[in-house]
């Protein structure tokens, strides 16, 4: 497995020689009692008790490997490197059938706390430029193991979409001396056409140019550039857990399968980055969670990735999500 950079778009692609299956023998590798399959525990709650609630282990089929360095090299004009990084599984509950949105608030907060702890830990490694967590729910979203889990990755590069976001956040900040997402939040809360729900700390909304039906972003209303530095306290973790659950339940009432990804600040301590490069990062970037539901019916997009085609207006999507029945 190696990483190759597309010289035209500058985005990195993980290149593998043929797909590989999970080493599971048909049993769920994440259920209690199967801990021997992944003997290394990276995080656990409660710590070293017989009944764990949340557990983080190295991925059994990692996309990235943590040992060594990136061995960046060229092949003519092309760039490639080893698939260096970290790839971890965050097991969200011992219960094989309990989805995240239906766990109680405290348990979801423990999942968030585990993510905060792992991201903070991985960011201490100067080889990694970007650390994040994501979750694929449902087979159509590419969920490989049924057991509720999310994934944490650390990479020696910043993913392309984050590069775009960092660039336009910085440009906006240089122009207006304000945070782009703070301004979006203010305008959306004033208009209330694309807002799904909000409280005094968080807001969920369908973005103006939603890529897919029911695309939803969840963001802190008070500016903060880093998820893992913002959500260090238990109170904050519980509050965000409750809010996230509510948004997920609304989304699941219309589309049960989704991709969820955290967009937080890059690792400012990574090597090779120029001094002063991240000078205004804590003021210009605003962490958020993006949720992209996977539609039941194929959209009639003429090209899936080049130009997005979305057949549902975000204003209509938000209206429907606001009206959804939830149990939080
Ligand atoms: Zn299981
Ligand atoms: Zn902001
Ligand atoms: Zn984003």
- Please spell the DSSP secondary structure of 96-152, one letter per residue: TT--GGGS-HHHHHHHHHHHHHHHHHHTT-TT-SEEEEEEEESGGGT--SSS-EEEE
CA of 87 to the centre of ligand 2 (A): 29
**What pLDDT is stored for residue 22 in this prediction?**
62
Question: What confidence category does residue 116 fall into, taking pLDDT thresholds of 50, 70 and 90?
Answer: very high
CA of 162 to the centre of ligand 3 (A): 7
CA of 210 to the centre of ligand 2 (A): 20
Q: How far is it, in rounded angstroms, from Cα 202 to Cα 190?
A: 15
Q: Is residue 30 predicted with pLDDT exceeding 80?
A: yes
Q: Is residue 300 predicted with pLDDT exceeding 60?
A: no
- Read off the pLDDT of each residue in 314-325 and give the average, rounded to a whole number: 95
Q: How far is it, in rounded angstroms, from Cα 235 to Cα 270?
A: 30
CA of 150 to the centre of ligand 1 (A): 13
Higher pLDDT, 184 or 22: 184
Phi/psi class of residue 26: alpha, beta or left (left: φ > 0; alpha: ψ in -120 to 50)? Answer: left
CA of 179 to the centre of ligand 2 (A): 5
Selection from 244, 241, 327, 320 nearest residue 289 by Cα: 244
307-316 long-range contacts, Cβ below 8 Å, gap at least 24? 308/211, 308/212, 310/210, 310/211, 310/212, 310/213, 310/215, 311/213, 312/210, 312/213, 312/214, 314/194, 314/206, 314/207, 314/208, 314/209, 314/210, 314/215, 315/193, 315/194, 315/206
CA of 45 to the centre of ligand 1 (A): 17
Q: What are phi and psi of 267, to 5 degrees?
A: -80, 105
| 154 bridge partner residues | 86, 131
Q: How far is it, in rounded angstroms, from Cα 65 to Cα 102?
A: 33
CATH topology for 2-155?
HIT family, subunit A (3.30.428)
- Please tell me the number of the ligand nearest to residue 284's CA: 2
| 86 bridge partner residues | 154
- Please tell me the number of the ligand nearest to residue 230's CA: 2
- Per domain, the residue ranges of the chain are 2-155
Q: Is residue 233 predicted with pLDDT exceeding 60?
A: yes
CB 174 within 8 A of CB 294: no
CA of 30 to the centre of ligand 1 (A): 5
- Read off the pLDDT of each residue in 270-286 and give the average, rounded to a whole number: 84
CA of 285 to the centre of ligand 2 (A): 6
CA of 125 to the centre of ligand 2 (A): 26
- Please tell me the number of the ligand nearest to residue 183's CA: 2
What secondary structure does DSSP assign to 148-210, as a single string? -EEEEEEESS--HHHHHHHHHHHHHHHHHSS-HHHHHHHHHHHH-SSEEEE-SSEEEE--TT-
What is the average pLDDT value for the chain, to the nearest integer? 91
CA of 129 to the centre of ligand 3 (A): 16
CA of 219 to the centre of ligand 3 (A): 10
Question: What confidence category does residue 271 fall into, taking pLDDT thresholds of 50, 70 and 90?
Answer: confident
User: Which range among 37-51, 78-92, 103-117 shows the weakest confidence by mean pLDDT?
Assistant: 37-51
Full-model pTM: 0.92
CA of 142 to the centre of ligand 3 (A): 20
């Amino acid at each position: 497995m190696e990483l190759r950079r597309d010289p035209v778009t500058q985005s990195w692609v993980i290149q593998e020689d043929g797909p590989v299956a999970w080493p599971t023998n048909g049993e769920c590798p994440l259920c209690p009692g199967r801990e021997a399959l992944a003997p290394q525990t990276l995080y656990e709650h409660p710590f070293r008790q017989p009944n764990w609630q949340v557990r983080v282990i190295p991925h059994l089929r990692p996309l990235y490997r943590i040992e060594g360095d990136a061995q960046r090299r060229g092949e003519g004009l092309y760039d490639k490197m080893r698939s260096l990084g970290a790839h971890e599984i965050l097991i969200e509950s011992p219960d094989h059938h309990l989805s995240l949105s239906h766990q109680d608030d405290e348990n979801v907060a423990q999942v968030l706390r585990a993510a905060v702890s792992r991201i903070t830990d991985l960011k201490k490694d100067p080889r990694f430029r970007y650390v994040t967590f994501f979750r694929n729910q449902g087979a159509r979203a590419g969920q490989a193991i049924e057991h509720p889990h999310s994934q944490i990755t650390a990479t020696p590069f910043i993913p392309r979409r984050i590069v775009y976001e960092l660039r336009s956040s910085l440009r906006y900040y240089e122009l207006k001396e304000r945070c782009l997402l703070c301004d979006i939040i203010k305008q959306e809360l004033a208009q209330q056409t694309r807002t799904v729900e909000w409280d005094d700390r968080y807001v969920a909304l369908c973005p103006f140019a939603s890529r897919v039906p029911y695309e939803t972003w969840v963001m802190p209303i008070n500016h903060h550039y880093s998820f893992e530095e913002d959500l260090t306290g238990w109170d904050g973790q519980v509050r965000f857990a409750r809010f996230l659950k509510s948004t997920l339940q609304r989304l699941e009432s219309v589309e049960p399968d989704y991709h969820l990804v955290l967009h937080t600040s890059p690792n400012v301590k990574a090597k090779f980055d120029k001094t002063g490069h991240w000078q205004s990062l804590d003021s210009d970037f605003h962490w958020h969670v993006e949720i992209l539901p996977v539609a039941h019916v194929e959209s009639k997009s003429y090209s899936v990735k080049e130009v997005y085609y979305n057949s549902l207006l975000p204003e209509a999507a938000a209206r429907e999500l606001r009206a959804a029945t939830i149990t939080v």
